[in-house]
Amino acid sequence: MLDYFFTPRSVAVLGASNDPLKLGYEVFKNLKEYKGKVYPVNIKDEVVQGVKAYKNVKDIPDEVDLAVIVVPKRFVKQSLIDCGEKGVKGVIIITAGFGEMGEEGKKEERELVEIAHKYGMRIIGPNCVGVMDTHSNLNATFIMNAKKGSVAFISQSGALGAGIVYKTIKEDIGFSKFISVGNMSDVDFADLMEYLAEDENSKAIALYIEGIKDGRRFMEVAKRVSKKKPIIALKAGKSESGARAASSHTGSLAGSYAIYEAAFKQSGILVANTIDEMLSMARAFTQPLPKGKRVAIMTNAGGPGVLTADEIDKRGLKLANLEEETMQKLRSFLPPMAAVKNPVDMIASARGEEYYKTAKLLLEDENVDMLIAICVVPTFAGMTPTEHAEGVIRAVKEVTNGKPVLALFMAGYVSEKAKELLEKEEIPTYERPEDVGVAAYALAEFAKSKGVVKE
Amino acid sequence: MLDYFFTPRSVAVLGASNDPLKLGYEVFKNLKEYKGKVYPVNIKDEVVQGVKAYKNVKDIPDEVDLAVIVVPKRFVKQSLIDCGEKGVKGVIIITAGFGEMGEEGKKEERELVEIAHKYGMRIIGPNCVGVMDTHSNLNATFIMNAKKGSVAFISQSGALGAGIVYKTIKEDIGFSKFISVGNMSDVDFADLMEYLAEDENSKAIALYIEGIKDGRRFMEVAKRVSKKKPIIALKAGKSESGARAASSHTGSLAGSYAIYEAAFKQSGILVANTIDEMLSMARAFTQPLPKGKRVAIMTNAGGPGVLTADEIDKRGLKLANLEEETMQKLRSFLPPMAAVKNPVDMIASARGEEYYKTAKLLLEDENVDMLIAICVVPTFAGMTPTEHAEGVIRAVKEVTNGKPVLALFMAGYVSEKAKELLEKEEIPTYERPEDVGVAAYALAEFAKSKGVVKE
């Protein structure tokens, strides 16, 4: 239903510019990469960035599905009317200076929504960074492309959203869509959750929330959508000081965090406490759901195994009690110093072959619902973490009983290539015990809500 | 007193090797970069990596302060005796297979300590990665050089320690010393804390602990040292599952975490819950101590300001109530949409000049004890976070009233250069609200323990 925001046949940029210091320059530059048709609208210039420009959106000799408005504030209203007369379906208003400015701005914003609805249009924004779809290659924002992936990310703070897009470009997490909702004058979290529930490219929905206006509808939709697809929410303004700051920032009433948290839980939403928790949980859902809460940990060093066991415990998951047979088989090829009890410590000498055999045995063990494969930097000369990653991947391909596997590769850039390999196989790979812990928790919790895991 | 482990005049490597698949190869290769004299000892080869080798440490025609033993286990005892006869002062035993192997190994380990003490030698290890001093340029390990910095890091897990050294190479944190203590047969946490208390290059001491043997002495020393220098501890094995895993890993009794935590707190140790908390806290101490708990936050985007306010609150710190005058002055040059109440939201248009003026005013405000300067990716074309960093640095240089400043630059590699600038000025720079929050907490907590902060 909101398809025209993500896969429009054609896009017009009102305020497309030749001046690199203007947002309209970046927006049009980004949109030129889109596979659909893109039209610059500029009141003065006849050509924008090498493309024939139109004085008015109505002059475009083609249907326009999506319009991006990035003109100065005083021209926004007329631009929107022009879009309506043109028959545009979706409008992204990047321009700021509306609801976030106080009562007068709120009134102007309501007027924009009335105009839009009169013409049957929907608005994302105003005061937003825009919208990205990494699968259709649409970047209707003024920021860099997000890394492609499976998480739909909706942010109520444009700058924070942008910061997260930038931060993750070099991390093992990608987005299907990034939607900066700005003031949420029209299209809001509920609309987007509803839409994303049906989006095949999005395996999970991550929300950064500062304040919600229509709590009842939000909950009603979240309850429905979270039965199909995991929703993870990070709410800013937990503390009193934070809430006060949030309220002055977005103008929306932050409300007590306790109320939000209860509402999230009632709606089947997974609650994140930090940005990294939100991202760690969301990207776990490339994996199948576990049938229970029993986790097996394999590692080439004791310390990280212990730290991960701590996190598993903290999150209410359990260390699996391995079958006698599994332990005997592990004992048969692991060195005497190895620990064959869960967490299985294969010790530093473990190579790709040990990773493969151990992962396979653990996945085949009936007491194991989920596997976490840890690799700290191999300390022996001549080894690289890539062979460890390959061992895990080989086991995952051979054992097809649908158990989720998460990886924890803990040596910064030294394990970059290994992480790329795992990522290619859609095995979520983390760098910190707490991140993999919360990811395992998210899988089990969502499985529980779907009745896959019985408490 | 333990100087010979970190700044020896000469080092011998027993087991130095020409075979790149042996640890003795990496150890000698790393040590060749050391400014002091380095002698390879190898029973067969006459030359190791281009350097004349000796059959026995006793053949070296020079005094030897430090010996690194990386020979196969069956030769360790005799090697140690040779070192004793040679008059070596400190011995790092990298070779594994002792106390961690059970009763027999424990006995052999005790024997090593007896031999060492008989000759007046001290042992670090066995079963360790070795020792690094980034200031003397000594790398007596088989892993890559750590980044140079101000944190002394002692790890009871060699692999985890190595993983952390690798992970931090590309982060804004450096180490003065990295000490992998292995089985702690002789030199232990207490000895090292005592030594590091006097080490000018170490501004804070970070400990990764799996289990402590002599709790009484540990506490007694920690109590004394933490009066001078902050000690931050991360204890693995918090949960029952984790504790069981830890105990099977190091052979040391993990004990109840509650007991450890109480002991840490009584000893003035700051408790970290994760690796990143430990590192975030430790590297804050390049800054002066705050005189109180009132934090000012400045930001170019609301969201991160709110998240940081939440973390400040969670850690028992307070948002400073700014002076009327400060807010008036901020109002005079910040745009109307900016928030001049703490957290000060300078909004996205803020450039270096606004960062400079705002930081200066906040540092001069008598109600402010500590400043957190946040920069999310600048969303306007032509801006880079470097000018924002420069603004903060300029303010810090002008306002010399000794207030700590922490930075939060949240855009991954987009803010890399800005972070480098801040790092050069020793302003700790974080990427996540929770990290800067725990860092501010650590500064205030240590200041409190020294009586600088009353409360």
Q: Is residue A207 part of a domain?
A: yes
Tokens representing residue A434 in the block: 């707490």
Q: How confident is the model at residue A12 (pLDDT cuts 50, 70, 90)?
A: very high
Q: Please report, rounded to a whole number, the percentage of residues in chain B having pLDDT higher than 70.
A: 96
The predicted pLDDT at position A101 comes to 85
Strand partners, A233: A207, A271
| Whether residue B167 is found in the same domain as residue B107 | no
Q: What distances in angstroms separate CA A437 from CA A150, B242, B281, one per listed residue?
A: 20, 13, 22
Residues 16-35 of A with CB under 8 A from B: 20-23, 25-26
| Closest residue, chain A, to B243 (C-alpha) | A306
Is A129 part of the contact surface with chain B (CB cutoff 8 Å)?
Answer: yes
Q: Which residues contact B367 (CB under 8 A, 6 or more apart)?
A: B294, B320, B321, B322, B323
Task: For A323-342, give one letter per residue: b (16+ CB within 10 A) or e.
Answer: eeebbebbeeebeebbbbeb
Quick: pLDDT tens for A75-112: 999 999 999 999 999 999 999 999 988 899 999 999 99
Q: A72-76, A381-385, B259-263, B343-347: which range is least confident on average?
A: A381-385
Of A150, A178, A213, which is closest to residue A92 (Cα–Cα)?
A178
Residue B13 resides in a domain: yes
| Under 8 Å between Cβ of B289 and B404 | yes
Give the model's pLDDT for residue B436.
Answer: 98
Amino acid at A390: E
Cross-chain CB nearest to B306 (options A246, A274, A305): A246
Chain A residues whose CB is inside 8 A of the B374 CB are none
Using a CB–CB cutoff of 8 Å, tell me whether A97 touches chain B.
Answer: yes
Output the domain CATH number for residue A181: 3.40.50.261
Share the mean pLDDT of chain B. Answer: 93
∠ CA B374-B164-B243, nearest 5°, is: 110
Q: Is the pLDDT of residue B218 over 60?
A: yes
If one counts the domains in chain A, the total is 3
Domain-embedded: residue B139: no
Probe site for chain B from A23, A127, A166, A306 (most B CB atoms < 10 A) = A306
pLDDT tens-digit series, residues A282-338: 999 999 999 999 999 999 998 899 999 999 999 999 999 999 999 999 999 999 889
Residue type, B173: I
Tokens of B244: 């069981």
Q: In this predicted model, what pLDDT tens digit does every residue of A125-153 receive, in sequence order?
A: 999 999 999 999 999 999 999 999 999 99
Contact A345 B249 (CB under 8 A): yes
- pLDDT tens sequence across A210-226: 989 899 999 999 999 99
Contact residues for A312 (Cβ-Cβ < 8 A; gap 6+)? A295, A297, A318, A319, A372, A437, A440, B239, B241
Between chains, do B167 and A310 touch, taking CB under 8 Å as contact?
no
Q: Which of A286, A307, A333 is the last residue of a domain?
A: A286
- Please state the rounded mean pLDDT for residues B203-232: 95
- Interatomic CA distance for residues B62 and A60, integer angstroms: 87
Q: Is the pLDDT of residue B370 over 80?
A: yes
Interface test with B, best of A241, A297, A327 (most B CBs within 10 A): A241
Within 8 A of B431 by CB-CB distance, chain A residues are 167
Is there a single domain that holds both residue A270 and residue A304?
A: no
Residues of A in contact with B141 (CB under 8 A): none
Alpha-carbon distance of B405 to B440, in angstroms, equals 9
Q: Which tokens go with B343?
A: 């957290």
A390/A298 same-domain check: yes
**In chain A, what residues touch B377 (CB-CB under 8 Å)?**
143, 159, 162-163, 166
Residue B255: predicted pLDDT:
63
Question: Are residues B152 and B281 located together in one domain of the fold?
Answer: yes
C-alpha to C-alpha distances, A52 to A62, A152, B221, nearest whole angstrom:
14, 34, 76
B45 vs A251: which has the higher pLDDT: B45
Within-domain flag for A454 = no
B298–A contact, CB cutoff 8 A: no
The answer to whether the Cβ–Cβ distance between B274 and A337 falls below 8 Å is no
Distance from C-alpha of B173 to C-alpha of B420, rounded to nearest angstrom: 11
Of B100, B166, B343, the CB nearest to A377: B166
d(CA B130, CA B127): 9
The answer to whether residues A84 and A115 touch, using CB atoms and an 8 Å cutoff, is: yes
Does residue A383 share a domain with residue A347? yes
A376 contacts on B by Cβ (under 8 Å)? 159-160, 162-163
Chain A residues within 8 A of B319 when measuring between CB atoms:
241, 245
Q: Does some domain include residue B359?
A: yes
Residues B393 and B430 both lie in one domain: yes
A·B CB contacts under 8 A: 264
Do B54 and B71 belong together in one domain?
yes
* Average pLDDT value for residue range A405-416: 88
Residue B35 has what pLDDT? Answer: 93
Q: Give the DSSP letter of residue A90.
A: E
Smallest Cα distance from B62 to chain A, Å? 31
DSSP state for residue A290 in the 8-state scheme = P
Element (H, E) at A398: helix A385-398
Looking at chain A, which residue has its C-alpha nearest residue B337? A101
At B162-187, the pLDDT tens digits run: 999 988 988 878 999 999 999 999 99
Q: What is the mean pLDDT of residues A401-422?
A: 90
Three-state SS string over chain B comes to CCHHHCCCCEEEEECCCCCCCCHHHHHHHHHCCCCCEEEEECCCCCEECCEECECCHHHCCCCCCEEEECCCHHHHHHHHHHHHHHCCCEEEECCCCCHHHCHHHHHHHHHHHHHHHHCCCEEECCCCCEEEECCCCEEEECCCCCCEEEEEEEECCHHHHHHHHHHHHCCCCCEEEEEECCCCCCCCHHHHHHHHHCCCCCCEEEEEECCCCCHHHHHHHHHHHHHHCCEEEEECCCCHHHHHHHHHHHCCCCCCHHHHHHHHHHCCCEEECCHHHHHHHHHHHHCCCCCCCEEEEEECCHHHHHHHHHHHHHCCCEECCCCHHHHHHHHHHCCCCCECCCCEECCCCCCHHHHHHHHHHHHHCCCCCEEEEEECCCCCCCCCHHHHHHHHHHHHHHCCCCCCEEEEECCHHHHHHHHHHHHHCCCCEECCHHHHHHHHHHHHHHHHHCCCCCC
Q: Are B365 and B225 in a shared domain?
A: no
B326 within domain boundaries:
yes
Q: What is the pLDDT of residue A249?
A: 56
d(CA A19, CA A6): 26
Last residue of a domain, one of B246, B270, B286: B286
d(CA A313, CA B245): 12
Q: Looking at the predicted structure, is the pLDDT value of residue A200 above 80?
A: yes
Q: Do B249 and A160 touch (CB under 8 A)?
A: no
C-alpha–C-alpha distance, residues A445 and A442, integer Å: 5
Q: Quote the tokens at residue B123.
A: 């042992």
pLDDT at res. B250 = 54
- A207 and A352 share one domain: no
Question: Is A318:A290 a contact under the CB 8 Å cutoff?
Answer: no
The shortest CB-CB distance from A22 to any of B21, B156, B381 is to B381
Alpha-carbon gap, residue A4 to A10, rounded angstroms: 9
**CATH number of B78's domain:** 3.40.50.720
CA distance A411 to chain B (A): 4
Tell me, what's the pLDDT at B379?
A: 59
Average pLDDT along chain A: 93
Q: What is the pLDDT of residue A252?
A: 52
Q: Report the residue from A26, A210, A240 with minimal CB separation from B381.
A: A26
Listed in sequence order, the residues at least 6 apart from A350 whose beta carbon sits closer than 8 Å to its beta carbon are: A300, A334, A338, A358, A388
Per the structure, the complete domain to which residue A243 belongs is given by 146-286
Inside any domain, residue B140: no
* Residue indicated by tokens 């972070």: B419
pLDDT for residue A379: 58
- The stretch B399-413 carries a mean pLDDT of 91
Give the lowest-confidence range in A239-253, A430-444, B384-398.
A239-253
- pLDDT, one tens digit per residue, over B136-163 is 999 999 999 999 999 999 999 998 999 9
Instruction: Taking residues B199-209, report their average pLDDT.
Output: 97
Residues A303 and A264 in one domain: no
pLDDT, tens digit (0-9, with 9 covering 90-100), for A240-269 = 777 777 766 555 545 688 888 999 999 999
Q: So what's the pLDDT on residue A170?
A: 81
Phi, psi of B33 (to 5 degrees): -80, -10
Q: Is the dihedral of CA B85, B194, B199, B179 positive or negative?
A: positive
Radius of gyration of chain B (CA): 25
User: Which residue is closest to B376 within chain A, CA to CA?
Assistant: A163
The closest of B215, B251, B214, B257 to B234, measured between CA atoms, is B257
Helix/strand/coil for A148: strand
Q: What is the pLDDT of residue B360?
A: 98
Domain match, A411 and A382 both? yes
- Cβ-Cβ contacts under 8 Å, A27 against chain B: none
Q: Which chain A residue shows the shortest CA-CA distance from B167?
A: A412
Element (DSSP H or E) covering residue A113: helix A103-118
Task: Give the model confidence (pLDDT) of B424-442 as tens digits.
Answer: 999 999 999 999 999 999 9
Cα(A108)–Cα(A251) distance, integer angstroms: 15
Please check whether residues A209 and A312 belong to one and the same domain.
no
Structural domain includes residue B43: yes
Find out whether B435 and B407 touch, Cβ atoms under 8 Å.
no
Among A286, A301, A322, which residue terminates a domain? Answer: A286
Rg of chain A (C-alpha set): 25
Give chain B positions within 8 Å (CB) of A341. Answer: 248
Cross-chain residue pair A158–B379, CB shorter than 8 Å: yes
Contact (CB<8Å) A305/B249:
yes
d(CA B167, CA A283): 21
Bridge-partner residues for B47, per DSSP? B52
